[in-house]
Structure 1
């Protein structure tokens, strides 16, 4: 048997011994410290139980409660618990083209709904969230609390959209640092894609960091006008309206790097299929092991005995009345 808080035992036992010694051997010194009336109130009555016996019971009660405070336990062998699930990094595209309305109500809101559906499809997994455009940043650290992750994603609105060109290389470098200690390394993008020139740097980072890429592509082949912050179509230098189409090159890059992609549609089947692919590929891999300390608690035995003795010590046994 061991004590979880042995220091509490030694802190309490020393004054307890001194107090017991003073009570039992030096009543005169106590009389100098306390007023007679106060001492009379503090002293146990000898009615029903002899004073010496009552004192012994009270001291024993206090002693057992001190032992309970030190928390006696029996240590058992640590239990190894396997943590189920994967660690994934998700990334939400907030570039200017995500304002386009070829999907309802626009690409950004549509991508957010798909991302939240993905959270629901991976309930036991630890997921981190970043947003990316010209400069990527962390929206939420890795967490298995899906409701909190959803709340963070819902908070991304039109004001987050960056009209600068998307820097996929910067996204790859951030992902590489965030996933450095993870195994396997998985990143899932929610985006309308990027051309081969823009994603060239990302491909190198993924290969060097051994990151598996999965992509959820939003938007249509036909495309839609690029819209500015005021809701007006952006015009090219030649006076024509700028049109943005979904670019599947990023999806093909995902397949080349051991991942997969889906074109987001209505309903949940697309996201459920992607989640099934991810789970199927890494079904034998887990986040790791956690050692859980096991012990049997014994503090309630001395605590219960101490309280029982305290009750007896504070009680008065009935005396036989002499006639």
Structure 2
């Protein structure tokens, strides 16, 4: 059976700093604990600590282990360090909680959508991040709407494609309200920390999304230039003789379902808007996943004379599938 390690989070150097001693002094105290098995001072493996590197006697401590060393020092030294170690562990627990909140946000932000210069999250993702239920969120919404600062349509919430979304400002109004209204202390502290952690985490996510979108746009421009701004299926291009032709860049493997290929030039092909719309209608709509196999089948059925593009698509398949 694997050892339970989730409760061991305090590094030796962190503990030494919290105790206001050097790492070497802490090591001497640990050696003292190990020296006499018959005295009252004991550090137990898997209770007080686990080994991070046993050959170097490098440990990770639990809160219980940190308190055991603090208790020894409190009795052996003149100055009291009990308040200091208690404050350290409180802040240490806050850091770990905040890391879990950040992770929760990162795991539940796939719905993050930009609309009217505001970022919105689906109701489902809001519920998952707040670790609450649909019923409790609905109750919180009703309570907020009766307050002096109710949520505003299009600003704090909106319906997108028939699904309720909340902007980040609306999301933070929920966290602030629940931080005061919930009865369980841990749940209140979780919601209380969400705004501070959320602003940092969402900034990282949004900055990454913005940079990713720029990479996609750059790849699309390069692909269009590579293809001579000409449709690779019909050979049409926008020029003075064909002013009505509009060329666009198509993701062979759809970017929503294959984001790792979204900024890859090999995954892009230039088409007329007409062919692009025709393919997605043939495939069941723009929201349906599409792959190179779908596009090959489309060309085979609707443009069977275009052997060149089928050859190109087969090469794309070999490269990207590999």
State the TM-score, normalizing by the size of structure 2: 0.21
Structure with more of its chain in helix, by fraction: 2
Question: Larger C-alpha radius of gyration, 1 or 2?
Answer: 1
Structure with more of its chain in strand, by fraction: 1
State the TM-score, normalizing by the size of structure 1: 0.21
